Amino acid sequence: MAFEKQMKEFEKRRARALEMGGRDKIKKQHDKGRFTARERIEKLLDPGSFLEVGMFNHSDVPGMEEKTPADSKVGGYGKLDGRRIVIIANDFTVLAATSSRIAGRKEGELKVLAALRGHPVVYLGEAGGARMPDIMGAAGLASFGGGGYNTYLQIMSRVRQTPMVTAILGECYGMPTWMACLSDFVVQLKGSAMGVSGPRVVELALGEIVSDEELGGWQVHAEITGNIDRVAEDEEECFRIIRQYLSYMPSHCDELPPFKSVSEGSGSDMDHILDLLPEQRNRAYDMHRILNCIVDNGSLFPIKPAFGKSVITVLARINGKTVGIIANQPMFNAGAMDTDGIDKVISFLCLCDSFNIALLFFHDIPGFLVGKDAERKRVGAKVMNYMNALGLLTVPKISVIVRKTYGMAFWNMCGSGCATDFLVAWPSAEMSFVDPSIAANVVYGGKASASDKNSEEWQSLLQKMVDDASPYGAAGKHYIHDVIDPRETRNYIIEALDICHNSRTKGISEHKLANWPTKF
């Protein structure tokens, strides 16, 4: 065979790269119930579609060449459900996938090229922090990230041009955490952990003894920080969630999300939608049931469901088109939005505006959660951040007032004067500065009858306030576009979306929120 010596050397080097950290390290990974980096790539991508970049990379530290196959990061291009993506997987079997100069150069280049070429990025995380002693000392520190004029910025900052997804699949400290905080969507595996520094560093630096779970387990990030969007029971579920999420997303910011066929039976329960809304104006109900009635069957995809639970953010489809939905949830705090909920909504607005996803708002909100704790969490500033983000939206916006919408929250939920393309109410809607019962106390509290809330006179005064909150007053003066039959909501939205998408912009955003921070 021609070039036999060279080909033997090639095969030897390739085999070494594919061995990763060796049999013992791979067995250790499997014993923990986890896949290796290459197995993860194989399981996520379409079969045979992976084109690797940088297989023969290794550390640039003399003497470490043989110990660092692919320099602990496996990356390249592949297809997911037929669509081209960029994929990067941390190889924990090689020095705990710690970050280094060569690996950083590979990751940074793939990330930059994905944006230029219009490919979504999937980052599969399981890694320690920066590799030591590689980046110790003045030259070591300054060279990390490429050492060029803007090479570090290219790796560690982002303007949304293509969707970016991170999976937290093991102990993730340093680089995987940074990538998660740059991503549009993060799914975390139960039993994994994510943080800036791991327990060992925390103990050495602060004398604080803490477990991985306590420091950055899934409950911490799903319920407290809001830094993840979904939780997976195992890696297979994690990959299913990633596939499902990307099915709602365009490949890049210059196209609309993909159209899907309408699932059978969609809209068939619309005639019974009023059965899901209590006639008692203060009774709680689950807004998910109303949304499920309106959207295509089985299409609701929750984003941050365990965080800021008084507001729902979901991706869904209506008549095959991807939409983003922001809906108040009366099951929690009567639907009053807290500061976590505000952060959750702003993050969702950025996602939808960056990737041309029309937004639907469903109102049933008594206002923002106020009080001492709220003020200390800067509720006023966050409300105005929310309003500022709303003002930068350039995707189609459709707003439906289901029940109550009071005070500033009316405008934050895309009310009148908010460049809302279609603003309508159900006959059950109540629109006012405050809850009618509170207004009655303020306005009529001085009357003698106010002491007896069961008296006929007091009930009459309260009813007057309720009647004044009827949506017909706003509809009559064209402050809202119409009052609609709730049973016609799905068809109304389908027509409204068709009008917006058959316009000059075709529903493509100006992407003014593309560089708003992804994590609040």
Nearest-5° Cα angle at 21, 20 to 23: 95
Query: In the block, which residue shows the tokens 């520094």?
Result: 197
In this prediction, what percent of the chain has a pLDDT beyond 70? 95
Q: Which two tokens stand for residue 56?
A: 């023969």
- Over residues 311-339, the mean pLDDT reads 97
Give residue 458's pLDDT.
66
Topology at the third CATH level for domain 11-247: 2-enoyl-CoA Hydratase; Chain A, domain 1 (3.90.226)
Query: First CA to last CA across the chain, in angstroms?
Result: 60
Do the beta carbons of residue 125 and residue 179 sit within 8 Å? yes
Please report the pLDDT score of residue 467 as a whole number. 74
- Give CA–CA dist 417/431, Å, rounded: 15
What pLDDT band is residue 203 in, cutting at 50, 70 and 90? confident
CA dihedral 325, 328, 332, 337 (to 10 degrees): 110
Report the residue count for the chain.
Answer: 520
Residue 199 tokens, joined: 């327990």
Q: How far is CA 335 from CA 347, 405, 479, 499, 517, in A?
A: 19, 10, 24, 31, 26
Exposure on the CB side of residue 156, measured as CA atoms within 13 A: 12
Average pLDDT over residues 43-72: 96
Please state which of the four CATH numbers 3.40.50.2300, 3.90.226.10, 1.10.10.10, 3.40.50.170 is assigned to the domain occupying 270-429+470-501.
Answer: 3.90.226.10
Name the token pair of 84: 């081209």
Tell me what pLDDT residue 446 has. 52
Q: What is the pLDDT of residue 449?
A: 52
In 42-101, the DSSP E strands lie at 51-53, 73-80, 83-90
| Residue 241 burial (CB count, 10 A) | 19
**11-247 with 270-429+470-501: one CATH topology?**
yes
Distance CA 429, CA 402 (A): 5
Average pLDDT over residues 354-358: 98
Domain-wise residue ranges, the chain: 11-247, 270-429+470-501, 433-469
Residue 366's pLDDT band (cuts 50, 70, 90): very high
pLDDT at res. 121: 98
Query: In angstroms, what is the C-alpha Rg of the chain?
Result: 26
DSSP output for 198-266: -HHHHHHHH-----HHHHH-HHIIIIII---SEEESSHHHHHHHHHHHHHTS-SSTTSPPPP-PPPTTT
| Per-residue pLDDT reduced to its tens digit, 240-296 | 999 999 999 999 999 999 999 999 999 999 999 999 999 988 899 999 999 999 999
Contact 181, 518 (CB under 8 A): yes
Q: What is the mean pLDDT of residues 214-232?
A: 96
Let me know if 476 is exposed, middle or buried by CB neighbors in 10 A (0-12, 13-18, 19+).
exposed
> What is the model's pLDDT at position 330?
96
What's the predicted TM-score (pTM) here?
0.93
Asked if residue 42 has pLDDT above 90, the reply is yes
Task: Map 171-188 to HEC letters.
Answer: EEECHHHHHHHHCCEEEE
